[in-house]
Amino acid sequence: MMSTSHAVKSPACAARWPVDAPTHTATLSARHGRLWRGGRGVAPCSVRAAGSSNTIGCLEAEPWGAAAPAPALPLRGLHVAAPAPGDDALAVPSEQRVHDVVLKQAALAAAAPRTARIEPVPMDGGLKAAFHRCGEVCQEYAKTFYLATQLMTPERRRAIWAIYVWCRRTDELVDGPNASHISAVALDRWESRLEDIFAGRPYDMLDAALSDTVANFPVDIQPFRDMIEGMRMDLKKSRYRSFDELYLYCYYVAGTVGLMSVPVMGISPDSRAATETVYKGALALGLANQLTNILRDVGEEYVISNRQKGRIYLPQDELEMAGLSDADILDGRVTDEWRSFMRGQITRARAFFRQAEEGATELNQESRWPVWASLLLYQQILDEIEANDYNNFTRRAYVPKTKKLMALPKAYLISLVQAERQRHYSSLT
């Protein structure tokens, strides 16, 4: 239930190189513009797989020394491998395939006790520094989200920061300054490194923060693997024939963030909802944020950035039904056909936001604030697209800072009201 923004100019290397304040902020789930946007003064950097000199990413950190190893952990999870393109499993609709993953994630979480608080775990100086660094990265590039995490317990807050940083590093593999050098082999190495993190063998301090997180929360490895699968799709796929195909991509690069986050944010002990409802809401928030980012960034990502890459993240069959083509998008023409097409896309995104609200209501009280902040802020982006008469080619749907700040107290009030209602209903049963 976080948000992720795609960087046109990568703000990478925040773990080592000082950078100026970014020009944009984002709330931690969706990928185009994926979680992390903006940044100046970027220095060259790399992240290398353990035992390898091959560059595989950004946000570099010092290797995790043998003097402070993380405890060895069993690999968690259900490991539901996503079928590769060409498999017979592709005959199954994407929504059903993702639903199966959600059910398994919910079952894993349901086996863990619901508790309002996580007992503090003593940390050595190395881990404290690792989590502090994760917090700095989050504060630098997702200011609104970072502020909204301050009501969470320290244990949950640190864990969310660690997940944020891993997602950011993963995104930078295909959209950072070294993206042109990234291959499928590099992503395979990154996945191998992920398995080491879950096994308690972190390569650097940022890995160590995530390794500690999965040791203390019932976080499963599958959503992390699926996010890497989304990066593989970006290497080989530039068109999406239908929303079914786009749905799967949005799950990989954004819906997964929600599934990663629920075990950390926690479900309220007063909640009477099924665990599955909460996970469906988390998935829906990721999908909604991703679809919103896609619509917001048509001009910036498609017309400007992706002309050379050739990526268009819109359902081709729906474009054709609206009487539109790739040429219309690349030419940036706002026509009646385009307005009609955009209305339909916005309606779909808002439907996912409504589903996300159902899940957000059931989270622990201190975890609701950042989720509701994301819900409110991203829906304002859709409002701005409409206010711009659907011209997302030359006019960016920008939410002013004052509106962002105003959304925080509103989100906080909603979380308090929901908590009071849950306590009331719980007292009646």
Residue 344 domain-assigned (yes or no) = yes
pLDDT tens, position by position, 353-377? 999 999 999 999 889 988 999 999 9
Residue 316: how many other CB atoms lie within 10 Å? 18
State the Rg of the chain over Cα: 20
Residue 427 domain-assigned (yes or no) = no
Contacts of 324 (CB under 8 A, 6+ apart): 337, 338, 341
CA torsion sign for 234, 236, 239, 242 is negative
Residue 41 domain-assigned (yes or no) = no
Distance from the first to the final alpha carbon of the chain: 29
pLDDT recorded at residue 424: 58
8 Å CB contact between 359 and 281: yes
Residue 29 domain-assigned (yes or no) = no
Residue 90 domain-assigned (yes or no) = no
Rounded Cα gap, residues 235 and 106, in angstroms: 30
| Number of structural domains found in the chain | 1
Residue 180 domain-assigned (yes or no) = yes
Contacts of 413 (CB under 8 A, 6+ apart): none
pLDDT tens, position by position, 378-400? 999 999 999 999 999 999 898 88
Domain that holds residue 283: 100-111+123-417
Residue 339 domain-assigned (yes or no) = yes
| Single-letter amino acid code for the residue at 306 | N
8 Å CB contact between 138 and 165: yes
pLDDT tens, position by position, 304-342? 555 555 678 999 999 999 999 988 988 888 999 999 999
8 Å CB contact between 4 and 168: yes
pLDDT recorded at residue 405: 83
CATH number of the domain within which 171 lies: 1.10.600.10
Q: pTM here?
A: 0.81
Residue 254 domain-assigned (yes or no) = yes
